[in-house]
A = this chain, B = another copy of it.
Amino acid sequence: MKRPKKTPARDGANPMKALLEPESVAVIGASRQTGETSLNIVENLLGYDYGGRIYPVNPKAKELLGLNVYPSIKDLPEKVDLAVLSTPRHLVPGLIRECGEAGVRVVIVVGQGFRDAKDEEGEQLHQEILQVVEETGVRVLGPNTIGSANAFLNFSTSFAKNQLERIPVGLACQTGIFLGRIHGQGLIGKGVDLGNAADIDFVDAMEYFETDPQVKVIALHIEGIPRGEKFLRTAERVSKKKPIIALKTGNSGRAAQSAMSHTGSLVGKSETWDAALKQSGVIRVQDIDELMDLAKAFAFLPLMKGKRTAIITLSGGMGIASLDALDRYGLEPAELSPETRNRLEEIAPSWFVIGNPLDIWPVMMVADAPWVDTYRMAIHTLLADPQIDGLILIGPTWMEYISPGISEIIVEASEDAKNKPVASWLYEGWLFDINDVDIELKVRSKGKGAIFPSPERAARALGRLAEYAELSGKK
């Protein structure tokens, strides 16, 4: 990883603090347009109910949304933690210098056209930024970034409105997409878009999240890795404490070339990184779906202490699909203990095959108890079985309308399970107007249990929980 980057002057503080917990933020070049489609950062911050001090900077305005507007960063009444800079590229190095001289800790450079550009000017501007960092001690996020966001403080520098969610996932990525929402799911509790990662990089992010009590799992979207050796050393240490899951893109020759022009990253050979990341304890995922699933799994489920997996289902067919997936993701179907078998035999029809997957529907239909109670009893029995390390719970969304609803059953199971993960999948539809995402948000509001978009993905999540427990020695 040759990289003509100079070591910037550092005051020892991790720049992530200013990015994620700023007490004051300046928005340089603050837009005077407001309203829903205006993408106005200041308006967004006010809307989130961010508690810090906001300073719009714009020489052409006096007042914006009830806030004083300052002609330049030098005119602010205090040394701000953070400045957001969104200007044409040729102005950027000079403005960063002004920020540095004004005592700003970190500058977010939103604009593109630096090392991501095809021209010499872009490379030269990149070098100038590094020079300013070295000379003034200011730190830079980006360029080519949407900035930082922290749900716990109602904070985000994104020009697009974030859907913040207070979940224990810390993220560092190289595209702003991840600071938004993907497919109805907020992935992030707090995070930074590193963009070109000219200065602040994955090492800073991992070091910060390492000791952050609000973060249980670290998610990375990586195009290129600056400070490669330091990255691997840091990952090795941090991954022993908290799981690090990583989507490393730009793996084909062509993708590597594109990554070069997206964020100016030197990508490195995929195989080399594969081996290095693995050795450092990083859990490498294949795609966005897996990144989201594992963020959720590690945030909301306990680790899985072994491979023995039980499946409870109201659909025999989906039980079998899950069983196939156990094989695929390194898990084993649990053998039910005699106690579990006996308990279930008491209430099952005589012809019923008690097995794993446990297709409980026929039992529910004939048992004396209300059928939701039969389902709950069976879940409880499986979770109490010492031969079972984790459970895939399959049910229908329409059970949300029975009392207790399926969301309560999942939360109850997760509490009941204590140190065993319960990964759920709900098939949808049929009665009424509720979907799995709605139910998932209810479950998540209790902070217990996780619902996945398919039974195979529930199995994959459990597989990775078991793998990490094994590798990190947290069994």
Q: CA of A352 to CA of B122 in the docked complex: distance in angstroms?
A: 10
Interface residues of A in 172-193 (CB under 8 A from B): 173-177, 180-184, 186
A residues 214-248 touching B (CB-CB < 8 Å): 221, 223, 247
A46 nearest CB across to chain B (Å): 16
> Cβ of B325 and Cβ of A287 under 8 Å apart?
yes
Contact in complex: A317, B252 (CB < 8 Å)? no
CB-CB under 8 A for A324 and B251, given A315-B177, A316-B263: yes
Nearest CB of B to A54, in Å: 20
Judging by beta carbons under 8 Å apart, are B352 and A321 in contact?
A: no
A316 and B262 form a contact (CB under 8 A): yes
A:288-339 near B, CB below 8 Å:
288-289, 315-321, 323-327, 333
Which chain B residues lie closer than 8 Å to A162 at the CB level?
429-430
Return the contact of A180 from the options B252, B357, B427 (Cβ within 8 A): B427
Q: Is A405 an interface residue (CB 8 A)?
A: no
Tier of interface size on chain A? 35 or more
Known A-B contacts A262-B320, A325-B287, A327-B252; A428 and B175 likewise in contact (beta carbons under 8 Å): no
Task: Tell me whether A316 and B175 are in contact in the complex, defined as CB-CB below 8 angstroms, given that A287-B456, A288-B321 are known contacts.
Answer: yes
Chain multiplicity (copies): 2
CB within 8 Å of B: which A423-464 residues = 427-432, 435-437, 453-457
Say yes or no for A259: interface residue by CB 8 A criterion. Answer: yes
Question: C-beta contact mask, A245-271 vs B, less than 8 Å → 1, else 0?
Answer: 001011110110111011100000000
Give the CA-CA distance A327 to B184 in the complex, in Å: 27
Contact B289 A113 (CB under 8 A): no
| Complex contact B175–A258 (CB within 8 A) | no
In the assembled complex, which residues on chain B have CB atoms less than 8 Å from the CB atom of A119? Answer: 350-351
Bound complex: CA of A247 vs CA of B176, how far in Å?
A: 35
Q: Report whether B258 and A320 are in contact in the complex, using a CB–CB cutoff of 8 Å.
A: yes
With A162-B430, A288-B454 known, 11 other A-B pairs at CB within 8 A are A36-B401, A116-B316, A173-B317, A175-B317, A180-B428, A182-B427, A183-B428, A255-B324, A255-B327, A259-B320, A289-B453
Residues of A in contact with B (beta carbons under 8 Å apart)? 36-37, 89, 112-113, 116-119, 121-122, 158, 160-163, 173-177, 180-184, 186, 221, 223, 247, 249-252, 254-255, 257-259, 261-263, 286-289, 315-321, 323-327, 333, 349-353, 355-357, 359, 362, 396, 398, 401-402, 427-432, 435-437, 453-457
